[in-house]
Amino acid sequence: MRPDEILKLQPEQSFTGLRIYISDGSSYDVRHPEMMLVTTRKVYIAFPPSRKDSAPGGAVHCDPVHITRIEPLNGKRPPNRRPRRT
- Domains annotated for the chain, with CATH where assigned, are 3-72 (2.30.30)
Question: What pLDDT, on a 0 to 100 scale, did the predictor assign at position 22?
Answer: 95
pTM recorded for the entire structure = 0.71
pLDDT tens figures, 1-23? 888 888 777 665 677 889 999 99
For the stretch 31-83, pLDDT in tens is 888 889 999 899 999 988 877 777 888 899 999 999 999 998 876 655 444 44
Question: In this predicted structure, what is the pLDDT of residue 84?
Answer: 45
The pLDDT score that the predictor gives to residue 74 is 75
d(CA 45, CA 23): 15
Report whether 42 contacts 62 (CB < 8 A).
yes
Cα angle for residues 86, 10, 6 (degrees, 5° grid)? 25
